[in-house]
Amino acid sequence: MDWSEYDAVLFDLDGVVTPTAEVHMHAWAAMFNDFLEARSAAEGTDLAPYTDQDYFDHVDGKPRYDGVRAFLASRDITLPEGSPDDPPTAETVGGLGNRKNAAFAQILETEGVVAYPGSVALLDVLRDRGMPMAVVSSSRNAPAVIAAAGLEDYFAFVMHGGLAAELGLAGKPAPDTFSHAAQVLGASDERSVVLEDALSGVAAGHAGGFGLVIGVDRGAGEAALRGAGADVVVPDLADLVDGGVA
């Protein structure tokens, strides 16, 4: 890596910097499978259970309620939209999204989170170089995760799902949130690096014409990440340090 070719580095959070993607996966699985079991019992149907592949295909990297809509559509289920203020008990898109978020928040509070060592190693290298860095996450929980992991000092800006909604920015796979973060850091898209583990996030970086899109393979698969537009795929960010940093 020759970091001198770039003016900013934009990190997805869950699955790239912190292992919270696994927490999200477990929270989504618990919520959707409980929902599907209850719906199957009420309607006398046999709905296929939610799987890890559903996470990668429909949920991973997307804003919370977009993930709910996409998964429900995959099962031909239609629910009222509701709103982000719906209680977790509501049988609406907003209610299901908030039900998942309650499960995630509980796990985060009880178990905490520790960043990937390889990711911290890269963050240290980039900070020593004076490289402007931002987090660009679809999750509204990103600030809480960053605080829990003790990473606040690394990032000059945090774009999270709540802020994106306030600003009216389209979520991944649209490139808007990445572009906004680059602008805040004083960089152009063409001179910014995107690091993503989700297909939707890689697709966003590719669609925005960013200078370099690095896919981090935490389970999506190298072929799928490259197919979504990754220029480089690594299994861990330590590879960007150990491989040599110019």
Phi, psi of 95 (to 5 degrees): -65, -45
Catalytic, 12? Answer yes
Catalytic: which of 2, 7, 14, 231?
14
C-alpha 134, offset from chain centre = 13
Q: How far apart are CA 118 and CA 151, in angstroms?
A: 14
Catalytic: which of 2, 7, 12, 236?
12
**β-strand pairing of 8-11 with 133-136:** parallel
- Edge-to-edge strand order for the sheet containing 192-196? 157-159, 133-136, 8-11, 192-196, 212-216, 232-234
Catalytic, 153? Answer no
Catalytic residue positions?
12, 14
